[in-house]
Amino acid sequence: MVLVGPQPGQAVKATHLLLSAHLAAFLVLVFGTGTPWQEELIQQLALADAAGVVERPWTLLTHLVVNVHALEFALSVGLLAIAGGSIEERVGRERFCALYFGSAALVALSHLVLREAGLTVGVLAGSLGASCALLTCYLFLRGGERRGGTISFPLLYLLVCFGVLVAVWVVQETRTSELTLRAQELVTLAYGALDRSFELRLADLERVARLEAIQPSTWSHILGLSLGALSLYMVRVGERLQERYRLHRDIHHLQQEVDARARVELLLSKISAEGIEALSHSERRFLRYASRYYRSPVPS
């Protein structure tokens, strides 16, 4: 089934709005690097575990705006700009948003499963998973139509996926190093600065624990490379169900019209044989309604 394209008159693309939102959130987080309010913001927006979802259900989607690493941000918005614009032109704004946020939710749920199984640690933060899902959607929607120079598109896609895995590894290693360095600085400050009060030292140690708790897990984002196909399938199923509902609704309206016309014919025959005085109050009201109904098109 070919998805319906965007409706005419759409001035601003959803892709552009998402890019602007990600850039604004990234600048805010970068501005607050190393501050307690940045750590609190990450804790409130990032996806931690199942218990955290119960307390903060919005984190299933708000984790998208928590891009705290420059390379990860560049990779995720780059994939969004390349694949997102093309997909939105192909499927329309509403279905594109369904693909993007649906993929983000699927990545989040998969992260929770891995977290509960003990296969990953840390929180889910950033939009890389949803962008990877868009890359897969791009393959299914446009892969058979394009070639990357002399390289077939499927092979090019596999090469891009390999590049994403390498970038994810670099991001994760860099994050781990940054966290270790910051934690060491705080521990040194807590135990080495003898002139600091006990309360300040305790606050430094508590901050170390908080940093470890909000350490993002980049590996969960690669799930988007496979979940993008599932998201696209779900959107297509939703479109089929919507079309089926419209078809049944139109058939229902047509059947109502057929039944109404048949009743009108019976009432007209009754008027011809017995006169209009023979009609009851409800029958006269039905004729008035039917005359107005036939002047209007069948609802679609």
The pLDDT of residue 2 is: 46
Q: Are 253 and 298 in contact (CB under 8 A)?
A: yes
Q: Are 32 and 102 within one domain?
A: yes
pLDDT band at 130 (very low <50, low <70, confident <90, very high): very high
**Could you say which of 220, 243, 266 is where a domain stops?**
243
Q: Are 220 and 124 in contact (CB under 8 A)?
A: yes
Q: Are 83 and 176 within one domain?
A: yes
- Taking every pair of Cα atoms in the chain, the longest distance, rounded to a whole number of angstroms, is 110
Number of neighbours of residue 52 by Cβ within 10 angstroms: 16
Q: Are 103 and 135 in contact (CB under 8 A)?
A: no
The pLDDT of residue 300 is: 39
Q: Which residues pair with 216 in a beta bridge?
A: 123
Domain-located, residue 9: no
Domain-located, residue 184: yes
Q: Are 193 and 286 within one domain?
A: no
CA nearest neighbour of 140 among 211, 235, 25: 235
Give percent of the chain above pLDDT 90. Answer: 15
DSSP character for 12?
Answer: S
Domain-located, residue 270: yes
Task: For residue 94, give its domain range.
Answer: 14-243
The pLDDT of residue 189 is: 66
The pLDDT of residue 106 is: 93
Domain-located, residue 271: yes
Q: Are 238 and 251 within one domain?
A: no
pLDDT digit string, tens, across residues 10-29: 557 899 999 999 999 999 98
Sign of CA dihedral 213, 19, 161, 235: positive
What phi, psi does 47 have (nearest 5°)?
A: -95, 120
pLDDT band at 77 (very low <50, low <70, confident <90, very high): very high
Q: Are 239 and 115 within one domain?
A: yes
DSSP string, 38-58: HHHHHHHHSB--HHHHHH-TT
Q: Are 228 and 253 within one domain?
A: no
Number of neighbours of residue 156 by Cβ within 10 angstroms: 16
Number of domains in the chain: 2
Q: Are 272 and 130 within one domain?
A: no
Lowest-pLDDT range of 15-19, 127-131, 186-190, 252-256: 186-190
Q: Are 92 and 239 within one domain?
A: yes
Give percent of the chain above pLDDT 70. Answer: 82
**Backbone dihedral region of 290: left (phi > 0), alpha (psi from -120 to 50 degrees) or beta?**
alpha
Domain-located, residue 143: yes
Q: What is the 3-state secondary structure (H, E, C) of 261-298?
A: HHHHHHHHHHHHHHCHHHCCHHHHHHHHHHHHHHHCCC
Sign of CA dihedral 168, 60, 6, 67: negative
Report H helices in the chain.
14-31, 36-45, 50-55, 59-62, 70-79, 85-91, 93-116, 128-142, 153-192, 198-213, 224-274, 281-295
**Could you say which of 243, 266, 282 is where a domain stops?**
243
pTM: 0.71
What is the Cα–Cα distance from 141 to 184, expressed in whole angstroms?
48
SS3 97: helix
Q: For residue 248, how far is the Cα from the chain centroid?
A: 29
Domain-located, residue 95: yes
Q: Are 200 and 168 within one domain?
A: yes
**Could you say which of 228, 243, 258 is where a domain stops?**
243
Q: Are 239 and 250 within one domain?
A: no
SS3 69: coil
Domain-located, residue 4: no
Domain-located, residue 141: yes
Lowest-pLDDT range of 67-76, 83-92, 185-194: 185-194
Helix pair 128-142, 224-274: axis angle to 10 deg: 60
Q: Are 264 and 229 within one domain?
A: no
User: Is residue 210 pLDDT above 80, yes or no?
Assistant: no
Greater model confidence, 279 or 111: 111
The pLDDT of residue 48 is: 86
pLDDT digit string, tens, across residues 86-105: 899 888 899 999 999 999 99
User: Is residue 284 pLDDT above 60, yes or no?
Assistant: yes
Read off the tokens for 291: 């005359």
The pLDDT of residue 298 is: 42
Q: Are 106 and 225 within one domain?
A: yes
Q: Tell me the CATH number at 200.
A: 1.20.1540.10
The pLDDT of residue 149 is: 56
